[in-house]
Chains A and B, each alone.
Chain A
Amino acid sequence: MFTVIGERINTTLKKVKAAVADRDVDYIQNDVKQQTAAGATFIDVNAGARIGHEEADMRWLLEVVQGATDLPLCLDSPDPAILEMAYGLVERKPMVNSISLEKDRFESMIKYLEGKECSIIALCMDDSGMPKSAGDIIARAHSLVGELEKIGFKRDDIYLDPLVQPMGVDIINGNMAMDAVRTIMTELEGVHTTGGLSNISFGLPQRRIVNRVFMAMMIASGFDSAIMDPLDKDLMALTLTADMLAGNDDYCMNFIRATRSGAIVS
């Protein structure tokens, strides 16, 4: 089943940042409850945008968010110290966002991950910069899986992010992501793929339709998870429908259930 990582609790979002600054429990809990009801699988928590306040903000958010949902969390921070503190405060096995092959990040994150019970988002990024071909992405994916398996991670706990880049800058970027996902899901059987897809439409008009169609095309290529807004009803309906069409929904049951609940209306 498609894994929805609810992206809304992120201090880079103006309203969330304000709610965190004001310690507005109701705002955050309301949002988390809505994300949960809308079908999120994980709730991503990112407290990084208030520079100098990340630790206190993350501590507060972890308590408030877990008070409003039974869903596992996705701990989103580039700082292993923050992630260490956060790991100690979660009530369920979390996802960790993220590791990459960039030297600064990789070493400290591998150390952090050793001995931890969690799933991990692994960015197909290294020090040579953004990937320029599907081959780049696939090679980096192999490296990441190799390194994570070395420290005992199972493929079912690995979520590879192919790093979607904008179509407006180069028209190969859509196919680059789709080809990479297709190959990763075959060559590295058992892993998952994930990421935020909205980069695809950066610089183009009518971004919403571009994002939606790309989601369907990525799912057709094997993409099985996304960092997205569960409250975007159209996008959730599309995701569920595409996932069913890709053959991932036994007896089309999730789809049928969603049409009965009103989650899918077309």
Chain B
Amino acid sequence: MSDLQTITETLITGDAVKLEELVKKAIDAGISANDILQIGLIGGMDIVGSRMESGEMFIPEVLMSGRAMGISVEILKPLLTGGQASSAGKVIIGTVKGDLHDIGKNLVVMMIESVGFDVVDLGVDVEPEIFVDAIKEHQPNLVGISALLTTTMPMMQKTIEAIKESGLKDSLKIIVGGAPVNQAFADEIGADAYAADAGSASKMAKELCVR
């Protein structure tokens, strides 16, 4: 098995210590940091995301892999070349105004970062105007909107309308999620995509941001 394949498999097991050793070994063996990141680590998180979506892997395991990845990425950071060009894209994400739930959103942030995106997390209880201001400031490729209460689902619609009114909607894609949300609702409010969990969100983010 190649060094990069072993890295991918170790990432999936969530063994942070072993992964760090393997990453250092790969660097010493002359494998490029970018390849280690893109093929070894991000490739591994893509698989984790798929397994999460299919129900084969569970939240604690996804968190362990995410943590292991984070530690290894810190080692790679000073060696990476290309800066912005090596990022998969920029994402802004938040939970809508009136809603304080963030567990799902935080998992999405972790997964999306792990598969190579730069993420700006606006937090919870985010007014539509704040989403719009953040879009103006960061010019993202993708905006993620989350809500967990049936009572705050209408606020998702208001947020999308605010983005439309600001004239910025055509420059980005909008993805929505949260327990009471479904594809029908996403279509109704004009979102570009709906993701049922962090795994499918990260896959969808890549599909929506094909450069």
- Interface residues in chain A, defined as those with a beta carbon under 8 Å from any beta carbon in chain B: 12, 48-49, 51, 78-79, 102, 104, 125, 127, 129-130, 165-166, 168-169, 202-205
Contact = CB atoms under 8 A, between A and B. Distances in A.
A51 B154 contact: yes
Given A12-B180, A49-B180, A169-B63, A130 B101 contact: yes
B98 interface: yes
Nearest to A126: B100
Q: Which 9 A-B pairs have the closest CB atoms?
A: A203-B59, A168-B59, A129-B100, A78-B151, A168-B60, A49-B150, A48-B150, A169-B103, A205-B58
B153 interface: yes
Contacts of B80: none
A151 B18 CA distance: 60
B124 interface: yes
Interface string B38-64: 000000000000000000001110010
Contact of A129 (B60, B98, B102, B153): B102
10 contacts: A12-B180, A49-B180, A51-B153, A78-B149, A104-B98, A129-B100, A169-B59, A169-B63, A169-B103, A203-B59
Given A169-B60, A203-B60, A204-B60, 5 more contacts: A49-B180, A79-B151, A129-B124, A168-B59, A202-B103
A179 to B, nearest CB: 20
Interface in B36-92: 58-60, 63
B100 A125 contact: yes
Contacts of B149: 78
A165 B154 contact: no
A87 B83 CA distance: 61
Nearest to A129: B100
A166 B180 CA distance: 17
Contacts of A125: 100
Contact of A48 (B100, B101, B125, B151): B151
B154 to A, nearest CB: 6
Contacts of B150: 12, 48-49, 51
Contact of B100 (A102, A169, A202): A102
A12 B154 CA distance: 15
B59 A166 contact: yes
Contacts of B59: 166, 168-169, 202-204
Interface centre among A48, A125, A130, A203 (most CB of B within 10 A): A203
Nearest to A166: B103
A6 to B, nearest CB: 19
A169 B154 CA distance: 27
A7 B28 CA distance: 59
A127 B125 CA distance: 9
Contacts of B151: 48, 78-79
Given A51-B153, A169-B63, A203-B60, A130 B100 contact: yes
Nearest to B98: A104
B51 to A, nearest CB: 12
Contacts of B124: 129
A141 B149 CA distance: 22
Contacts of A79: 151
Nearest to B59: A203
Interface in B106-146: 124-125
B119 to A, nearest CB: 18
Contacts of B153: 51
A108 to B, nearest CB: 13
A129 B153 CA distance: 18
Contacts of B154: 51
A18 to B, nearest CB: 14
A130 B99 CA distance: 10
Contacts of B180: 12, 49
B98 A168 contact: no
